[in-house]
Amino acid sequence: RAWRNLRTALSERNRQQALHQGYVLANGTLFHLTGAVGPSPASGRFESFQTAHAMIRELRRAGLNNVIVVRARHHTIITAVKR
């Protein structure tokens, strides 16, 4: 969805929204690769997209197990059990 939002912002020449979506994509990539996220330079808030792989890694790091991923057309549902 972040890619779609970026394309829409670019096609509408909405510079502020395009920069925000670029931040979301960069932050999501950072989260996927390192498990860390950074605040938005504009608002100080945190926003990113999450991949299933990164979410599984973080759930396990937080002490949860029996992680199950169910992918549907528009949603991904991840469940886990606390040890």
Map out the domains of the chain as residue ranges: 1-49, 50-83
pLDDT in tens, the chain (83 residues): 788 999 999 999 999 999 999 999 999 999 999 999 999 988 999 999 889 999 999 999 999 999 999 999 888 999 999 97
Q: Which pair of structure tokens corresponds to residue 12?
A: 């509408």
Beta partners for 69? Answer: 78
Q: State the pTM of this model.
A: 0.76
Q: 3-state DSSP call for residue 17?
A: helix
What pLDDT shows up at residue 73? Answer: 87
